[in-house]
Amino acid sequence: MKRFLSALALSLLCLTSLTAQDNVPADSLSSTDEMGEKVPRKRLWERGLAGKVVRYFNKANQPKPLDEFDFSVIGGPFYDKTSGLGIGICGSGLYHLQPSNPSLPHSDISLTVRATTKGMFSLDAEGRNYLPNDRFRADYEVELTTFRNEFWGLGYAQNDVDAHSSFFTRNQVFATGSFLVRLAPRLYLGPSLYYSLYYADKRDARADSLLGDRPRHTSTPGFGLTLRYDSRDHALEPRHGMYFNLEQRIQPSCLGNKRTFTTTEMEWCAFTPLWKGCILGGEIHALVNCGKDIPWTEYAYVGGNQRMRGYYEARYMDRNVVEAQVELRQHIKGRSGVVAWAGFANVFRDTHSWQFRQTLPNGGFGYRWRFKPGVNVRLDLGFTRNGPGFIFAINEAF
């Protein structure tokens, strides 16, 4: 808890110091020269290195010409149950693939590097590309992760027992991408690719016992088809509209999988303004695996920085998951805003084993700071069945 409070305080200090100049009385911002005339006096955060940092972030928030690649970097401390206390560096880039068409959305790229006291190191890159006239869209995500992972087994019955806590070193390479063709206004369809390489090394005795005879190392290639409808006004900071994404994927044995299995993943989001500066958003997400000998490394799980925020990532995991959340987003002043959310999730093996009493609750609140137009840095405090968790990330959760 001390580490969490320290990370929260440092993160808030870093962000609020960048907006403090809006709250200083005007008469404290000047001094007099030898002739008795008033001259501007630099504030504390406008001097030296602090001044350069403030000017950098003020510049990052200014709109750029459509033909300019706009890339900025921000960093700060964070704490969550999965990785412990650490430092995160986030880079966000906006660019336009058709400067002559201002109605085309900005393409974007997000880069995140994290290192923590629990030996975690991760590198994540993701982005969306809107090609000329929005006839095609291309999305991608690549993630490399290594850290000492806590493990409670597979399935709710094992996951919910604290005494099952065990450890192994998780090394993972994950990549996915899609290329979509416009079929009708806001409706897209296209192929997708998927690959995951997972190594569960340096396991303790309890982790080996919980895994049984399941493979410790897996390689899972696959491909599929994605159907998407998107009427949001902005992909990174939506204020109104709807987003629906359905991906049907197959992981065939001919590509090296032990046996062929399929994965169906659905995401639905909707956003609407309620009053001045307030947005209500909602999301439903489901992932269902079908087949025999599905690798345990491909099981659905609860946790992360997008859904069920605050849960230890993959403490609860099984073949399938259904989860939902609603979030209230309120702009406060300048570049600052706050949010509050509530959600739930249920992991289960099949429809026969689904039980309402195994539904996991979630809720929390957070602070938003506008990093650049349409891009927010977020600090979230999530409350879970197993205690609180703190998240530092870039872009909205959904």
Asked whether residue 385 carries a pLDDT value surpassing 70, the answer given is: yes
- Residue 39 backbone dihedrals phi, psi, to 5 degrees: -130, 150
Distance in angstroms (rounded) separating the CA atoms of residues 215 and 212: 9
Query: What is the residue-averaged pLDDT of the chain?
Result: 88
Distance in angstroms (rounded) separating the CA atoms of residues 162 and 295: 24
pLDDT band with cut points at 50, 70 and 90 for residue 394: confident
Confirm if 232 and 238 have CB atoms less than 8 A apart: yes
* Weakest mean pLDDT among 36-40, 56-60, 73-77, 376-380: 36-40
Pick from 365, 364, 371, 362: which is nearest to 394 by CA?
371
DSSP secondary structure letters along 205-234: HHHHHHHTTS-SEEEEEEEEEEEEEE--S-
Residues sharing a CB contact under 8 Å with residue 353, sequence separation 6 or more, in sequence order? none
Helix (H) or strand (E) run with residue 156 in it: helix 156-159
Q: Is the dihedral of CA 82, 83, 87, 93 positive or negative?
A: negative
pLDDT band with cut points at 50, 70 and 90 for residue 29: very low
Exposed e or buried b per residue across 157-189, where buried means at least 16 C-beta atoms within 10 angstroms of its C-beta: eebbeeebebebebbbebbbbbbbebeeebebe
8, 10, 15, 16 alpha-carbon torsion, rounded to 10°: 90
Distance in angstroms (rounded) separating the CA atoms of residues 341 and 271: 14
Confirm if 177 and 139 have CB atoms less than 8 A apart: yes
Pick from 295, 297, 320, 4: which is nearest to 168 by CA?
297
Pick from 342, 337, 341, 340: which is nearest to 377 by CA?
337
Q: How confident is the model over 171-182, as a mean pLDDT?
A: 98
Asked whether residue 4 carries a pLDDT value surpassing 50, the answer given is: no
DSSP 8-state assignment for residue 48 = H
Q: What percent of the chain has pLDDT over 70?
A: 87
Asked whether residue 222 carries a pLDDT value surpassing 90, the answer given is: yes
Using DSSP, state whether 137 is helix, strand or coil: strand
Confirm if 326 and 355 have CB atoms less than 8 A apart: no
Q: 338: which 2 tokens?
A: 């706050």
DSSP 8-state assignment for residue 133 = G
At residue 261, the pLDDT reads 97
Distance in angstroms (rounded) separating the CA atoms of residues 295 and 298: 5
Q: How confident is the model over 379-388, as a mean pLDDT?
A: 92
- The predicted-structure confidence for 345-364, as pLDDT tens digits, reads as follows 999 999 888 999 999 999 99
Helix (H) or strand (E) run with residue 15 in it: helix 2-16
Q: How confident is the model over 258-262, as a mean pLDDT?
A: 95
Asked whether residue 76 carries a pLDDT value surpassing 50, the answer given is: yes
Asked whether residue 140 carries a pLDDT value surpassing 70, the answer given is: yes
Kindly report the CA angle at 328 between 322 and 333, in degrees rounded to 5? Answer: 145
Give the chain's domains with CATH numbers: 2-17+42-394 (2.40.160.50)
At residue 274, the pLDDT reads 97
Using DSSP, state whether 236 is helix, strand or coil: coil
235, 237, 240, 241 alpha-carbon torsion, rounded to 10°: 20
Helix (H) or strand (E) run with residue 109 in it: strand 107-116
Count the Cβ atoms, other than its own, within 10 Å of residue 318: 25
DSSP secondary structure letters along 49-88: HHHHHHHHHHHHTS---TTS-EEEEEEEEEEETTTEEEEE
More confident residue, 164 or 64: 164
Q: 240: which 2 tokens?
A: 């109104």
DSSP secondary structure letters along 281-328: EEEEEEEEEEESS--GGG-EE--SSSSSTTSPTTSSEESEEEEEEEEE
Q: How confident is the model over 48-58, as a mean pLDDT?
A: 73
Q: Please, which residues bridge with residue 175 across strands?
A: 142, 195
116 sits in the region (left: phi over 0; alpha: psi -120 to 50; else beta) called beta
Task: Note the residue count of the chain.
Answer: 398
